[in-house]
Chain A
Amino acid sequence: MKVKYFAWVRERVGKAEENVEPPASVRTVDDLIAWLARRGESYAHAFETPRVIRAAIDHAHVKPDTIIAGAREIAFFPPMTGG
């Protein structure tokens, strides 16, 4: 699946998007955050406070316990500051 990062999450990870293949044990958005955080120092820094990270699956906001199976695109970003 494709993963996208925005704002300071993007800056900390060091890339805007990538394709990842998490193992089957990674079932929810929260699981994916924990799995990504173990990929290296930059990821650990980006996801050091999981509760502030917002997520969207296929362009719709989702909660941390949402199942990720079937997702084409998952995005992670800080709370929004538009308007």
Chain B
Amino acid sequence: MTENVTIRIQEADFDIAREIAALTKGRTDIGAVVSFSGICRGSEGGETIAALTLEHYPGMAEAEIARHADTAMSRWPLTGLTVIHRVGRIVAGENIVLVLTASQHRQAAFAAAEFLMDYLKANAPFWKREETSAGTGWVEAHQHDDDAAARWTKS
């Protein structure tokens, strides 16, 4: 069977059930699908967040995600994966990002999904601007996101 890799950057929301169906359609060799959704929180550190606006670097964002998808496909026995990252204005409670990984067994699917999210957060060129009651401002990067990505290179 061929490997099934889907990468999309889009303004529109995504339908998780439809994406899982697309990843598993016509196959009987998949025993596990792991789904991670990143959702826009309505508050951060006691501050209410109305919405986020996501900016990205067209061309590089796709290239970075594809590079990490290739790494995941070669590092774990996956039958396929899906990464969808939204851009533009996203209000609290809405989806931001979707990672799906499919494999014969759950261990590979869990590990690959976590790897992909850790790498996306630290290396994919997206930036969040948040709207709070105090005004709007760029979200600052967290050192723990870099640390989370770095732990995958240690083993």
- Which residues of A approach B to under 8 Å, CB–CB? 4, 6-8, 56, 59-61, 75, 77-83
Contacts and interface: CB of A to CB of B under 8 A. Distances in A.
A80 B127 contact: yes
A77 B125 CA distance: 8
A69 B69 CA distance: 29
Summarize B's interface: helix, strand, loop or mixed: mixed
A82 B125 contact: yes
B90 to A, nearest CB: 12
Contact of A80 (B59, B96, B117, B141): B141
Interface of B: 38, 54-57, 59-61, 63-64, 85, 96-97, 117, 120-129, 138-141, 145
Contacts of B140: 79, 81
Nearest to A56: B60
Contact of B127 (A4, A56, A59, A81): A81
Contacts of A61: 64, 123
Contacts of B122: 80
User: Top 8 closest A-B pairs, CB basis?
Assistant: A82-B126, A79-B141, A83-B121, A7-B127, A59-B60, A83-B120, A81-B139, A81-B128
Contacts of B139: 81
A78 B60 contact: no
Contacts of B55: 6-7
Contacts of B124: 80, 82-83
Given A59-B63, A82-B56, A77 B127 contact: yes
21 contacts: A4-B57, A6-B125, A7-B129, A7-B138, A56-B57, A59-B57, A59-B64, A61-B64, A61-B123, A75-B57, A75-B125, A79-B140, A79-B141, A80-B121, A80-B141, A81-B126, A82-B56, A82-B85, A82-B97, A83-B121, A83-B124
B63 A82 contact: no
B58 to A, nearest CB: 10
Given A7-B138, A8-B138, A61-B123, A82 B59 contact: no
Given A7-B138, A59-B59, A80 B125 contact: yes
B5 to A, nearest CB: 18
